[in-house]
Chain A
Amino acid sequence: MDLSLNGVSHSYGNVEVLRDITLNVPSGQIVCIVGPSGCGKSTLLRMAGGLERPDQGEILQVGEPPEDCLNPLTFIFQDFALLPWRTVDGNVRLVLEDHGIRGERGEAIVADVLARTNLGDFRTALPKQLSGGMKQRVAIARALAVRPAVMLMDEPLSALDAQTRELLIDDLVSLWAREPFTALYVTHNLSEAVRLGHKIVVLSRRPGEVREIVEIDRPLTERSLGDADLDARQKHLWEVMRSEARAADEELVHD
């Protein structure tokens, strides 16, 4: 299933946040959205997932989601959004319970996703016992459990320290390599974007417009930290973004 955004515009009151955004998320690819803070990237993601309605434009699911998919558009949040009163196991089960998946079938799915995210030994731990990186792994496991057609990732690594971020980038790459997933990935971190994105969409400052779309053909598994070609790409992205970011930074907050 592909996701297609057509001419999406949105305002909050008098403040225009997004202007005429058109982009496609083809199946099996990771599309990164980068942009200065306040450019409406998270708003765009919430719209893609049906948590907010755009003023204009449409968001289309192209094609049918796969048969076994329980929740076609699934979010991964920056602040993990784990229920603190449920264990790792219970947090994953939460999203299965409503689909009537319990007992052996539920157990099989939970065991599978926890194994894929290397959480097998932490099933009975509460979120308060886990580090930030582990919490985000639980959130990824929870998202995998509903077999999403498109994952909507809202700065998933931004709450983590730089080392944990590297580890999780590796995890995401190996998850993708094993079974390619489709994702719309919002971030403000350019090195994440060049490591994980097949396509990188640069938004301007508010109101957010598509400034440039960069495609990177190198397979995800062949990209690594400190790669010269990727660094050049990253530098290019930063040059596109720099003036936007500076202008956004110097803007007064109006609300």
Chain B
Amino acid sequence: MTEIQTDLPKQPVPFRGGGFRPRPIRFVGLAVFIVLIALIEWGVRAGWISNLTLPRPSDVLATFGELYRTGALWDHLSISLSRLVVGSAIGVSAGIGLGILIGLFSLIRAGLVPLVAAIFPIPKIALLPLFVIWFGIDEGSKYALIALGTFTPTVVATYGAVENVDRTLIRMGQSFGLSWLSIVRKIVLPGAMPGILSGLRISLAIGIILLVAAEMLGATHGVGAYILQAGSLYDLERLFAGVTILSVLGVTVSFLIGQVEKHLLDWRV
């Protein structure tokens, strides 16, 4: 039979593909922010949100402007940023270094993986009193806290990433007689970079959390100290201005890592 019977009922094949593929849609995220803030502004002005629960977003903005004009914003932010940068630089570089060693050498791996597993779940903020005794009440203890907090997730992400580097690429390097150092530098490191960078995202977010915690427990300056002071005085505008700074800081860090990924990992399919 070569002809299709025409007298039978016909219906189109129903479409059941599509979906399950996230695509970027611009400005939607921004719109959600704007709508939410406008809603709060309206609610507080109209009175169906009590101004004891939430401050007026416009007042928070005014407080923010004042903070900027008096220069206090920069005072707090610069000291917080330097703590975050120094602390996480120490933690992340130590974490990547040790993670690579764990990934490459069985002996180091056997010795250190249990230790890392033991340190990982400790809430690092619980160690702050200890660090104050060890490193002093000023910057030292804060650097140490942030360093340790960013160190553990970086180690775990790095050695996992090194393990996942395509073994056939390493065999290829060996078969062409590349030196051990060349294989590590040109094959293992770039191959582990996607995993290291996604670990870095988590590490730096933890770094920001610990920064604020440390500043709340023993600092006169910094965003955390600023929020704590505002909270004790029940000054909601200043409290929310502080929280906004943290939120912006988090978004900025995430954006920067995204840019680094875009630049370093453009080879990914």
Q: Do A and B come from one complex?
A: yes
- A-side interface residues toward B, CB under 8 Å? 49, 51, 70-71, 73-75, 77, 79, 81, 83-86, 94-95, 97-98, 126-128, 142, 146, 152
**B148-187 CB contacts (< 8 Å) to partner A:** 168-169, 171-172, 174-179, 182, 186-187
Contacts A74-B175, A75-B175, A98-B182 hold; do A81 and B169 have CB atoms under 8 A apart? yes
As a 0/1 sequence over residues 196 to 213 of chain B, the CB contacts with chain A under 8 angstroms (1 = contact) are 000000000000000000
Closest to B264 in A: A85
Contact among A49, A70, A77, A94 with B186 in the assembled complex (CB-CB below 8 Å): A94
Q: Return the chain B residue nearest A99 by Cβ.
A: B177
Contacting residues, chain B, for A94 (C-beta < 8 A): 176, 178, 186
Q: Are A146 and B168 in contact (CB under 8 A)?
A: no
Distance from A100 Cβ to chain B, minimum over Cβ atoms (Å): 11
Question: Whole-angstrom distance between the alpha carbons of A184 and B179 in the complex?
Answer: 25
What residues on A are CB-neighbors of B8 within 8 Å?
none
- Asked if residues A85 and B190 are in contact (CB atoms below 8 Å), the reply is yes
Residue of B nearest to A148 (CB): B176
Number of A-B residue pairs with CB-CB distance less than 8 Å in the complex they form: 55
A86 CA / B186 CA spacing, docked (Å): 10
29 A-B residue pairs with Cβ-Cβ distance under 8 Å, sorted by A, are A51-B174, A51-B175, A70-B177, A71-B176, A73-B175, A74-B176, A75-B171, A75-B175, A77-B171, A77-B172, A81-B168, A81-B169, A81-B172, A83-B190, A84-B267, A84-B268, A85-B190, A94-B176, A95-B178, A97-B186, A98-B178, A98-B179, A126-B267, A127-B267, A128-B267, A128-B269, A142-B176, A146-B176, A152-B175
Chain B residues near A51: list those with CB within 8 A. 171, 174-175
Contact with A along B106-130 (1 / 0, CB 8 A): 0000000000000000000000000
- B267 and chain A: residue at smallest CB distance: A85
Would you give the shortest CB distance from A134 to chain B, in whole angstroms?
15
Considering only CB atoms and an 8 Å cut-off, how many residues of chain B contact the other chain? Answer: 19
- Which of A71, A73, A81, A142 contacts B171 (CB under 8 A)? A81
List the B side residues contacting A74 at CB < 8 Å.
175-176
Q: A77-B168, A83-B187 are in contact. Are A49 and B267 (CB under 8 A)?
A: no
Interface residues of B in 248-267 (CB under 8 A from A): 266-267
| Contact, CB under 8 Å: A71 / B177 | yes
B101 to chain A, nearest CB (A): 22
Q: Which residue of A lies closest to B167 (CB)?
A: A81
Docked Cα-Cα span, A95 to B186, in Å, equals: 11
Asked if B176 contacts A79 (CB within 8 A), the reply is no
Give Cα A242–Cα B68 distance, bound, in whole angstroms. 82
User: What residues of B have a CB within 8 angstroms of the CB of A85 in the complex?
Assistant: 190-191, 267
Q: Which of A75, A83, A146 contacts B169 (CB 8 A)?
A: A83
State whether B186 touches A83 (Cβ < 8 A).
yes
Please, which residues of chain B bring their CB within 8 A of the CB of A75?
Answer: 171-172, 175-176
How far does the Cβ of B122 sit from chain A's closest Cβ, in whole Å? Answer: 36
Q: Measured between C-beta atoms, what is the minimum distance from B266 to chain A in Å?
A: 8
Contact with A along B124-150 (1 / 0, CB 8 A): 000000000000000000000000000
CA distance in complex: A217, B164 (Å):
46
Q: Closest A residue to B183 by CB, please name it.
A: A98
Chain B residues within an 8 Å CB radius of A126:
266-267
Q: Which of B169, B175, B179 has the most CB of A within 10 A?
A: B175
Residues of B within 8 A of A49 (CB): 175
Give A86 to B264 CA distance when docked, in angstroms. 11
